[in-house]
Amino acid sequence: MRRFATALAICLLWALSPATAQVVTIDSCQQWAVAQSSSNLQKQLNEQLLQVKLNDVSSHYYPTVQIDGAIGYMSPVTELPSETPGYQPMHKDMYNVSLNLQQVVFDGLQATYGRKLERLLNKNEINKLDLSISQLKEQVISMYLNLLIIDKQIEILSNVENIFQEQSDQLRALLRAGVVYANSIAQLDVEGLKIQQQKDELQANRESLISSLSILTGKDLSDATFEQPELPSVSYDLSSIRNEFAIFDNTMGSLEYQRKMHISKSLPKLSFMAIGGYGRPTYNLLNPNFDWFYVVGLKFNIPLIDWARTKGVSDIIVLQKSILESQKSDFTKGNQIAIQEKINEIKRIEHLLVLDEEITKKYQEIRETANTQLLNGTITAMDYIKLQNDETQSVTAREVHTIQLLKAKYELLALKGLL
């Protein structure tokens, strides 16, 4: 019975104990969002699609085998003078069935260039999907950091609310002693109600953000606690490895292989052939009887080059590459400008944070002095509320600037293609 009672007590304690809140990080949210995104699935499917396309490009290297047959009537046939010894006239009806085999030996490098072209086109698709994934990560980061700002604001307002409540309680004690007026207490209570209104609005915004983030991540984050990340390490140079650069390079590479594939069409083609069958007549036209026949050999094809068309296609591709190089140059300049502006923004926020610390410290000192002054009646409740609001604004500004610094550094990583 004692064991049963002990087990029952443990179960009751476990059931009544508060559930441990789920602690969520910004990295885990990004991983969840990427894992369930369609872009991530498309990347896997693109790898499979590439293998199918590579096999298709090289499919003409597989031997072709087919069965041919014919029945016909020939008006003229091979004839010899009737006095030729052993000569038998040829039949005018014909019958044959044959097995034809053909194996490409050299295709003018079309398969080689085609496979390289397909790989570059596939890389472009992967890079575009990676670009979409990076944008998804940026969206998650923005929501997550906005949640942190709201949580900080709610925390600050709760602290201020507690301070007002403490002051209100102390003033009530003084009111009973006849030292202060009830008006001071009412002013503090009104300010407390205003703070509650602000907290309610912030809480509504917080729930909306959590709902959106839950949809993106595929996780229920309604009861989650969001951990503030450390400031990411960033470099202040203008280098960047964004996916757009790879897309430009791969596109120019694919144009070059398209040009080579067009030229390869004018190169000689070589294939092995073998035909074997049974019928009448055979390759021996003097044999009027049904018999077996076969032929093996090499077959080649040398196209007559259309120089005007080949040169026209090459000129078009050269112009397209020049356009792409110009677009890449413009994108590089724009990206470098955006990186430099973001670096300047980070330095500006860092300077603001230094000032925020000094301002907040001063306001705290002033407010602590005002606590005593309010109880002594040397300042009014409205004066005290104003001083407290000034301190609240300075603390809020410091916390907002801290999150803004986090956001700016993540945005710098995005501009550099390092998310």
Per-residue DSSP letters for 138-178?
Answer: HHHHHHHHHHHHHHHHHHHHHHHHHHHHHHHHHHHHHHHTT
Query: Which strand (E) or helix (H) includes residue 404?
Result: helix 381-415
Distance set, CA 99 to CA 40, 62, 282, 295 (Å): 48, 16, 14, 11
Model confidence band, residue 6 (pLDDT cutoffs 50, 70, 90): very low
Model confidence band, residue 5 (pLDDT cutoffs 50, 70, 90): very low
Least confident of 16-25, 57-66, 280-289, 367-376: 16-25
**How large is the C-alpha radius of gyration of the chain?**
41
Reported in sequence order, the residue ranges of 206-248 that DSSP labels E, i.e. its strands, are 224-226
What is the rounded CA–CA span in Å between residue 119 and residue 225? 44
Reported in sequence order, the residue ranges of 8-148 that DSSP labels E, i.e. its strands, are 22-24, 64-73, 93-106
Instruction: Tell me what percent of the chain is helix, strand and coil, each rounded to the nearest 5.
Output: 65, 15, 20
In the predicted structure, residue 384 carries a pLDDT above the cut 90: no
In the predicted structure, residue 12 carries a pLDDT above the cut 60: no
Candidates 231, 291, 299; CA nearest to 268 is: 299
* Tokens of residue 102, six digits: 């053909």
Of residues 29 and 41, more confidence is placed in: 29
Show Cβ contacts of residue 21 under 8 Å, excluding neighbours closer than 6 positions.
223, 224, 225
What is the rounded CA–CA span in Å between residue 209 and residue 144? 8
* Tokens of residue 234, six digits: 């960033």
pLDDT tens digit sequence for 213-222: 999 999 999 8
Candidates 167, 149, 221, 222; CA nearest to 395 is: 149
What is the b/e burial string over 273-305, where b = at least 16 CB atoms within 10 angstroms of the residue's CB?
A: eebebebbbbeeeeebeeeebeeeeeeeeeeee
In the predicted structure, residue 180 carries a pLDDT above the cut 80: no
In the predicted structure, residue 174 carries a pLDDT above the cut 60: yes
Confidence (pLDDT) at 76: 80
Confidence (pLDDT) at 11: 43
Query: Which strand (E) or helix (H) includes residue 413?
Result: helix 381-415
Least confident of 157-161, 309-313, 363-367, 398-402: 309-313
Q: Give residue for tokens 């306001």.
A: 363
Model confidence band, residue 266 (pLDDT cutoffs 50, 70, 90): confident
Confidence (pLDDT) at 370: 87
Candidates 111, 112, 110, 106; CA nearest to 299 is: 106
* Tokens of residue 152, six digits: 């900080």
Q: Give start and end residues of each alpha helix (H) in 293-380.
A: 307-376
Of residues 183 and 34, more confidence is placed in: 34
DSSP code of 313?
A: H
What SS3 class is residue 274?
Answer: strand
What is the pLDDT of the chain when averaged over all its residues? 85
Torsion of CA 52, 57, 62, 64, to 10 degrees: 110
Model confidence band, residue 278 (pLDDT cutoffs 50, 70, 90): very high
Average pLDDT over residues 292-304: 87
In the predicted structure, residue 256 carries a pLDDT above the cut 50: yes
* Tokens of residue 378, six digits: 């040397």
Peptide linkage before 232 cis (omega within 30 of 0)? no
What is the rounded CA–CA span in Å between residue 344 and residue 355? 17
% residues pLDDT > 90 (the chain): 47
% residues pLDDT > 70 (the chain): 90
Least confident of 15-24, 41-50, 53-62, 262-271: 15-24
Confidence (pLDDT) at 62: 86
What SS3 class is residue 220?
Answer: coil
Confidence (pLDDT) at 406: 93
Asked if residue 284 lies in contact with residue 308, where contact means CB atoms within 8 angstroms, the answer is no
Confidence (pLDDT) at 387: 85
**Residue 197 CB: number of other CB atoms within 10 A?**
11
Of residues 58 and 10, more confidence is placed in: 58
Average pLDDT over residues 85-109: 85
Of residues 376 and 24, more confidence is placed in: 24
Confidence (pLDDT) at 309: 66
Strands 224-226 and 93-106, how do they pair? unpaired
Confidence (pLDDT) at 308: 58
pLDDT tens digit sequence for 130-163: 999 999 999 999 999 999 999 999 988 888 888 8
In the predicted structure, residue 340 carries a pLDDT above the cut 90: yes
In the predicted structure, residue 16 carries a pLDDT above the cut 60: no
Confidence (pLDDT) at 56: 86
In the predicted structure, residue 208 carries a pLDDT above the cut 50: yes
